[in-house]
Structure 1
Amino acid sequence: MTSSTAPGTPAAPAAPGRGRIADRGLMPGPRPLRRLPEGVGSEPYTRFELVPYGDLIGAEIRGVSLAEPVGPELFAELDRALLEWKVLFFRDQPITPAQHCAFARLWGELEVHPFLGQGDVPEVVRFAKDAASVGVENIWHTDVTWRERPALGSVLRAVEVPERGGDTVWADMGAAYDALPADLKERLAGLTAVHDFTLAFGHGLDAEQLAARRREFPPVEHPVVRTHPVTGRRTLFVNGIFTDHIVGLPEAESEELLGVLFRQAMTPEYQVRLRWAPDTVAFWDNRATQHYAVNDYHPHVRVMERAAILGDRPY
């Protein structure tokens, strides 16, 4: 074999490529992922117009009023859309708290949150933020995983929004799991993690109050990878607000592994972002997603109302 390079001539520098990018600790984004399980197709929707916001997660529903009764045919299509798209958006929905609850209750019993303040309707939690507010919503999380039966889903309505900022981002945790390397999936099989309310809500309680709440809501174990009870899809089920540690691992190993899994939600390809307007409603599948409330509107006012639907015990 001959070479066109004369003896003694310095070799040309290697062309920049993925090897050099990897040396910098950077990697390209994930390969394209499927919205639905292999072999499952998407059927058309006939009761409303569905407008996807991306390919994996998030779609706007047009032509439905949440103030009106939802019949069985419409419910079936909305339920299918929720399972397929994980989070649904409804614009221009000036609903009352009673109508808010009536819509959410179609999917099951509503929870009364023990730590967050309620308004006139106990099942509706009101989040009112202004210049004096602090909170942890701007950390990726899944709602109330510290309960034995975390929420099936949440229905959130914008009451008052800032002129700019205050978006919410959701991540598809089924896609986040699918993209993991095979050896990591094998490592996660059978692992459970402890979820604890005190990470988010314990700071405002004195010792006596904390002890009483711990008796009522002791730490719970859930699988690190849960199975969606309807679709059968596996999803990552750990989050930075409520997950304390992985059972059976040394603390350092648990923290390292949780850090890897927490970062999966931060991948843009798995996300959808919503710019709120007054009377916009978002309905998400809490079994399949995490979300993040962007705190970029201080000191302006942002008021939201949420009804959460009780779910089942993760497995």
Structure 2
Amino acid sequence: MNAAVIANQAHEAEVKVSPLSAHIGAQINGVDLTRRLSDTQVKAIRAALLKWRVLFFREQFLTHEQHVAFSAQFGELTLGHPVFGHVDGHPQIYSISKFRKATRFEGQALLRPWTGWHTDVTAAVNPPFASILRGVTIPPFGGDTQWTNLVIAYDKLSAPLRAFVDGLRGVHRFAPPQGASGTDAFAKAVDDHTLVSEHPLVRVHPETGERALYVSPGFLKSVIGLTPRESQALLELLWEHVTRPEFTVRFKWEPGSIAFWDNRTTAHLAPTDIFDLDFDRQLYRTTLVGDVPVGPDGKPSVSIEGSHVGAAAAVALN
């Protein structure tokens, strides 16, 4: 048996899925993401994504081009970020560095247990269906990211509350955290690329039919039809609920680590402890074009301001 055949058999090795918590997160072994995956491997990874919501890969040292190529096997890529742009020369990639000037805030935000938790780009009418984040420069300690399962969060609500939220819709927009103000760069980016959308509070997953609490704490600002106090009380109850520890998984990054999550059924929390450390931290993200969310009543989301989040290639050619 020649070396090429042996190498090909190794590449076709079975995808190994190792769950990391009761409700969310699994590590994937047995694949080399620097190479094109087989149809069988793509199918296995996609099935694991639907079941475990966020997947983790170790020791995958990808270039920007390989990151894009891996992502494209699961869907159409968006522009790096619809508001804050992309890496020069790589329109599909968004830089997540320790000090991102465009996303910095001034003043002390009002901190609550759910502060910082969010689902990516829900201010858009068609938020990305998935995000793929690659670790490059990682501090020796600190900087962990957390994810929560919004399907189990919905399931664990009482039946009367599930019935109530099933019929509600909310307004999502980009804005600084409560108590803080955006920097000039943040304000200009938001003004130049305004995104405001109305989404159902409960989203029906287009592939599995599951219902998820679609209540991104970072972007959801109010519930339509409720008084301001009713809206605030309900949202705070739901945000506290979706971030319950038993619904979550916490990931320790290493250079070459990759996290791949279903953005339709998860929210995540970026670390803030890194700002108390002297170490750099650099990650890169791609996102995949998503569909327009639909609620239990069959009604789709509605764009209030802004346009769909589309393919990076189309934007780059304009």
TM-score normalised by the shorter chain: which range applies? 0.7 to 0.9
Aligned position for 1:264:
241
Q: 1:302 to 1:117 in 2, by over 3 A?
A: farther
1:260 to partner: Cα distance = 0.7
CA drift of 1:66 comes to: 0.7
212 and 142 in structure 1: CA distance in 2 versus 1, 3 angstrom threshold: same
Match of 1:77? 44
Task: Note the C-alpha offset of 1:55.
Answer: 2.1
Question: For the residues of structure 2 that align with 1:54 and 1:248, how far apart are their CA atoms?
Answer: 37
**Counterpart selection for 1:306 from 261, 264, 285:** 285
Unaligned runs of 5+ in 1: 1-45
2:289 partner letter: L
Can you give the 5+ residue segments of structure 2 that lack an aligned partner in the other structure? 1-12, 295-318
Counterpart of 1:116 in structure 2 is 84
Q: Give the match for residue 182 of structure 2.
A: 203
Mapping 1:213-292, distance limit 5 Å: 213-214=193-194, 217=195, 219-292=196-269
- Secondary structure, aligned partner of 1:107: coil
The offset of 1:80, in angstroms, is 0.3
Taking the aligned partners of 1:205 and 1:260, their CA distance within structure 2 comes to 33
Give the CA deviation at 1:167. 0.2
1:56-75 residue CA offsets vs partner (Å, 9 max, x unmatched): 11010011011110121111
Q: 1:302 to 1:209 in 2, by over 3 A?
A: closer
* Letter of the structure 1 residue corresponding to residue 256 of structure 2: D
Partner of 1:31: none
Worse-superposed segment, 100-109 or 90-99: 100-109
AA of the residue aligned to 1:103: F
For these two proteins, the number of residue pairs brought into alignment is 267
Alpha-carbon distance, 1:202 to partner: 8.3
**Distance in 1 separating the partners of 2:100 and 2:57:** 28
Q: Is contact 1:165–1:295 with CA below 8 Å preserved after alignment?
A: no
Rounded Cα–Cα distance in structure 1 between residues aligned with 2:188 and 2:98: 28
Q: Which residue of 2 aligns with 1:161?
A: 138
1:221 & 1:204 partners in 2: Cα distance?
26
Which structure 2 residues correspond to residues 48-67 of structure 1 after superposition, within 5 A?
48-67=15-34
Residues 199 and 208 of structure 1: is their aligned pair in 2 closer, same or farther, counting only changes over 3 Å?
closer
Residue 121 of structure 1: how far off its partner (Å): 0.7
Letter in 2 for 1:145: T
* Aligned partner letter, 1:76: K
Alignment match, 1:182: 159
Aligned-partner Cα distance in 2 for 1:131–1:76: 35
Q: TM-score, normalised by structure 1?
A: 0.79
Normalised TM-score (structure 2):
0.78
Q: Give the superposed CA RMSD.
A: 2.4
Q: Distance in 2 between the 1:199 and 1:74 partners?
A: 40
Aligned-residue identity in percent: 38
CA distance in 1, matches of 2:94, 2:14: 30
1:210/1:235 Cα in 2 relative to 1: closer, same or farther (>3 Å)? closer
Q: Which amino acid aligns with 1:213?
A: H
Q: Secondary structure at the match of 1:187?
A: helix
Assess if the C-alpha contact under 8 Å between 1:226 and 1:234 holds in 2: yes
Residues 83 and 193, structure 2, Cα contact 8 Å, conserved in 1: no
Q: CA offset at residue 265 of structure 1?
A: 2.4
Letter in 1 for 2:287: A
Deviations 1:278-304 (A, max 9, x none): 010000000010101121122321111
Return the alpha-carbon distance in structure 2 between the equivalents of residues 162 and 309 of structure 1: 27
Distance 2:175 2:115 in 1: 17
**SS of corresponding position for 1:104:** helix
Distance 2:197 2:176 in 1: 13
